[in-house]
Structure 1
Amino acid sequence: MSQISSLKFWMANLAKLEFAALDFSGDNYLSWVLDAKIHLRANGLGQTIVDENDASPKENAKAMIFLRRHIHEALKSEYVVVDEPLVLWKALGERYDHQRMVTLPRARYEWTHLRFQDFKSVSEYNSAMHRITSLMRLCGENISEEDMLEKTLSTFHASNVLLQQQYRRSCFKKYSELVSCLLLAEQNNELLLKNHQSRPTGSAPLPKINTASQEVNATSSRGSIHKRGRGGKRGLARKQKRSWCSFRGFRSKERSIHEWQKCIP
């Protein structure tokens, strides 16, 4: 039960941390130093880790509490007798400052082999660029905007030589300006590709006749046919009637002639 309580207490303290605590291995020492400096300055305690400072005992105590809260539990045990923030700061520096010598060669290697053409998207390349340059700057290596621009433009794929020349003629002064243009071009290319895939070239549907016009034409045609049909029937009836009347008249004449002949002596 006591182990569970201590674990909960540790998790509660971890949630209150302003940034990740210094690991016992020191792998995150460079980023930890930067975060610690920023937060100490923000709290008005930046002078407590500077040589020959005039910080008050209260300020030193606050800085010490802050530093101990942001280091590994094992480090707290090792430096339990240290009660001055400047002393603890220097002790940690002597212990882990070699991380600069370990990190810098690796960052230089990654910078040398960084190529724009090796990444599937501009965002992935941009993330790698910032990660590598940040490590190099933490180690004291200066990477300028011109270096970042040249690294990007010089590592375009060979099939994009014309595009590379166009970007060079734009004379960008900042790496961020070039990345913005690359991101916009990438989005436009993706949109064009999606439009092409949705309906390949030459597959446009045939134009459809207006449905309303079809209905009007069909109605007109049916009316005309119906009228012609009715008129035809009436004409046929008239012809039949005339024929019948003619036949009756002929029969009447025939009877009259017969009666007349009977009267001749």
Structure 2
Amino acid sequence: MSILVFGKTGQVACELRRLHPEFTYLSRAEADLSNPETCGEAILKAKPSAVINAAAYTAVDRAEEEEALAHAINAEAPATMARACATLGIPLVHISTDYVFDGSGESPRSPDAPTAPINAYGRTKLAGEEAIRASGALHAILRTSWVFSAHGNNFVKTMLRLSDTRDALGIVSDQIGGPTPASAIAAACAKIATEISKSGTYHFSGAPDTNWADFASEIFSQSNRDITVTGIATSDYPTPAKRPLNSRLDCAALQSDFNIVQPLWKQELVKVISELI
């Protein structure tokens, strides 16, 4: 089965390359998502059996000033991918985000829960979802959260970097979600791409849910770093883009349809810490 992957150096794409070096991976030079039409053209030229979109504009704060660029990459490019997949009659697996929700309440969000993004990044990702659904392509939209790995920019690497020069940190403790290893997302995308038979939207996050402060404490514990973590409120750490307080995701549908279970993030963190240290 020939699978074409958009993305080559991002967190999920790097893990996909480890798992499936036989897939074809497109770099930015080969398919620039800021020039959306190139994405559809690449699919029509390659004629793969399935497509995985593991590329995105993920600079959440910068998106507040670059929403047009984020929209091109996160919405217009996936739209052209989906239309090309519809033309060829092949499936598209697309990674989305918990940021399509407003983060209210305390219950896990189901895939069919009402969306209401509170920042530019979330708006562009939701627009991408809507375009894919409208394309007529067989698709799976996989919303995930708090992605971490040994690659790219993520919370684990940031905490380790800060701990090199700090012995105490104030970390937000009122945002709740599931840290998700990129390796698990990669494996899920590959499985879905080869088994998909109907279109749907799914949630996938690590278990159990936690907050950023406790996540940081676990990172320092596993890396044997004596760092004092103090929980602070989101309001005490203002950022250009608003963050959802509730990023809990109901992942039951993914397990029911594909037998993909939530990864235990503490166990996966051990592997990432080992690779980084």
TM-score bracket for the superposition, by shorter chain length: under 0.3
Question: TM-score, length-normalised on structure 2?
Answer: 0.23
Higher helix share: 1
Structure of higher RCO (CA pairs closer than 8 Å, 6+ residues apart): 2
Bigger strand share: 2
Instruction: Please give the TM-score of this superposition, normalised by the length of structure 1.
Output: 0.23
